[in-house]
Amino acid sequence: MSHPRSLALVAVGGALGVASREALGLAMAGVSPMADGASLPWAVILANIAGALLLGLLYGALAHRRLIHHTTRLGQTLRLLLGIGFCGGFTTYSTFAVGLVLLAGTTDPLHAALWALGIITAGALASWVGMVLGGAGRTHGSQLRPTGDRT
């Protein structure tokens, strides 16, 4: 696949992902108060967990159909457009990290650390659920490997 086409797929997917995250943020405006007056960026948390689920679902579906490797044009296109592009634009680690620092400044830092651990665990669980729902492991020989691993 040519570099310009790859970059275009990532750019289009990324633009759609960022726009979707912003729409989610606008829809959830004001849905942040916690009992102690601190707030969490709920839209960012939801976007990150949903993005982890979607990426796991995509990865699982591609692995199930043996399209996960760079050897198929469809697998490459879906990985670039939806995986790297859309899910990469929809999720945001930096905003999540800043939100946790702000939370730690308004509440007990241990409380913020527990939230961080819970959210990261939820994201990992969502990725796993997505992979299972996507069909990863259902076909004999469709092992989960990083997308760059061609072995």
Residues 43-67: pLDDT tens digits?
889 999 999 999 999 999 888 877 7
pLDDT winner (highest mean) among 102-106, 120-124, 131-135: 120-124
Mean pLDDT of 129-148: 68
Residue spans per domain, the chain: 3-26+41-134
How far is Cα 110 from Cα 125, in angstroms, rounded to an integer? Answer: 22
Give the pLDDT band of residue 99 (cuts 50, 70, 90): confident
pLDDT over 70, % of the chain: 81
pLDDT over 90, % of the chain: 52
Put simply, whether the predicted model's pTM sits higher than 0.85 gets the answer no
Give the model's pLDDT for residue 141.
Answer: 47
pLDDT top residue among 103 and 4 = 4
Known binder of ligand: residue 91?
A: yes
Give the pLDDT band of residue 39 (cuts 50, 70, 90): low
Give the model's pLDDT for residue 119.
Answer: 94
User: What letters, b where the CB count within 10 A reaches 16 and e where it falls short, cover 31-45?
Assistant: eeeeeeebbbbbbbb
How far is Cα 104 from Cα 14, in angstroms, rounded to an integer? Answer: 30
Residues 100-115: pLDDT tens digits?
888 888 888 898 899 9
How far is Cα 7 from Cα 11, in angstroms, rounded to an integer? Answer: 6
Known binder of ligand: residue 147?
A: no
42 alpha carbon, distance to own chain's centre: 15
